[in-house]
Amino acid sequence: MPTDEFPILKHGHYANHAAIAPWPRSTARAIADFALENSEIGPEKYALWLSRETELRQLSSNMLNAESAADIALLKNTTEGICTVANGIEWCTGDNVVLPLDEFPSNRLPWLALRQLGVEVREVDIRSTSEPELALLDKIDERTRLLAVSAVQWTDGLRLKLETLGNACRQGGVFFLVDAIQQLGALEMDVQACNIDFLAADGHKWMLAPEGIAVFYCRQELRDHLKLAQQGWRMVDNPYQFNRADWLPSQAASRFEAGSPNTLGQAGLHASLQLLLRVGMENVEAAVRENSTFLSESLATMPALELVRPYDQGRGSGIVSFRMPGKDINEVFRALKQKLLVCAVRGDAIRLSPHFYQAGKPLHDILNLIEDVVKIQ
């Protein structure tokens, strides 16, 4: 594992990739080089910027096993991708959308806003059952237009079986949207095998890139099904032909990119995806899952702690959350912070989310810090 790529290992103990990731050295260098170049010679190398954008679409396509790089749009964030779908479908009064209860607001508020159009939003409790996929599919009927899920739940790391959901949606003629922000970059993803219609994921978490740049996937057959909520000069093929007579939207997913690109963010995401793909997503996933297994099994041996969700290899992700019954979780969080452990409070639990490069000693150090805090609480 390329540990020399991660200076963060020398500065405290980081377990918060489910929030914002520290950049790899090569990503920081790519961003710094881009900024320096722009300050010294401006956009003289703009043609190279466009070439990098083309490469980034292909790298993103590779991460998803998409059919083509033309299926990829580069947007600002996950929310913009989800809203592209929510505002693009022609809804009718009486339609319904199905989603898990307690989704992150990015995958909840756009659907709740559809109530003003007469669309019913069905939120399903997926944590009170051992078969969350069946619970979701049970709420689908003849008026269901779309199922929207997070691939990995943001609070406790529950990983849904996307292939099961996607197959059922495809057979039933229901659109299938996936918020992949807690999976892409940590675990392998295959939009074709899972029959995913739409997918969105920010770069700033497990993909180890800056904020403000995201990957949006739209299956080719469905691009014309989404009306365009915004219009702009860059949504066409060959957008730099400014004197063209027609402004028809591109047939590629770039039709959803209305305005000027985030070239700085593209430089960062390009470098980060190159790193992840060079390591190999199969190796990244193996390390992430081993980390979570180790953390879960170790924390389970501490009588004072309680895992929010017992680790299940079939549903494992990069997130492990624990409670300390009888203790104020915010006090526990502050104690961990004083030990230079960067983590997060989500609900009544501490959420840990280390990445692949922290296998071995860095992860053991994180566990030792937690043990020390538990002893003094």
pLDDT of 314 reads: 84
Q: Which residues lie closer than 8 Å to 63 by C-beta, 6 or more apart?
A: 184, 185, 189, 215, 273, 276, 277, 281
Paired strand residues for 121? 97
pLDDT of 283 > 90? The answer is yes
Model confidence band, residue 300 (pLDDT cutoffs 50, 70, 90): very high
Helix (H) or strand (E) holding 147: strand 144-150
Query: What is the number of other CB atoms lying within 10 angstroms of the CB of residue 88?
Result: 18
- Is the alpha carbon torsion for 71, 113, 148, 344 positive or negative? positive
For residue 1, pLDDT over 70 is answered with no
- pLDDT score for 6: 96
Partners of residue 345 on adjacent β-strands: 350
pLDDT reading at 309 higher than 90: no
Is the pLDDT at 3 greater than 80? The verdict is: no
Query: Can you spell out the DSSP letters for 157-189?
Result: -PBP-HHHHHHHHHHHT-EEEEE-TTTBTTB--
Q: Mean pLDDT for the chain? A: 96
Q: DSSP letter at 16? A: B
Q: Are 200 and 184 in contact (CB under 8 A)?
A: no
Output phi, psi for 120, to 5 deg. Answer: -85, 135
Alpha helices by DSSP H, listed for the chain, are 25-41, 46-64, 78-86, 109-112, 132-137, 162-172, 263-279, 281-299, 329-338, 361-376
Q: What is the pLDDT of residues 114-147, one digit of tens each?
A: 999 999 999 999 999 999 999 999 999 999 999 9
Percent of the chain with pLDDT over 70: 99
Express each pLDDT in 214-244 by its tens digit.
999 999 999 999 999 899 999 999 888 888 8
The pLDDT of residue 311 is 78
What is the pLDDT at residue 377? 72
The mean pLDDT of 273-288, rounded to a whole number, is 98
| Average pLDDT over every residue of 344-351 | 96
With b for 16 or more beta-carbon neighbours within 10 A and e for fewer, the 258-276 pattern comes to eeebbbbbbbbbbbbbbbb
Cα 108 from Cα 105, distance rounded (Å): 5
Where do we find the tokens 């990957």?
Answer: 215
Q: What residue ranges define each of the domains in the chain, with the CATH number in brackets? A: 3-23+281-376 (3.90.1150.10), 27-278 (3.40.640.10)
pTM higher than the cut 0.85: yes
Give 207's Cβ-side CA count (13 Å radius): 33
pLDDT at position 294, please? 96
Provide the pLDDT for residue 176.
98
Farthest-apart Cα atoms in the chain, separation: 72
The pLDDT of residue 11 is above 90 = no
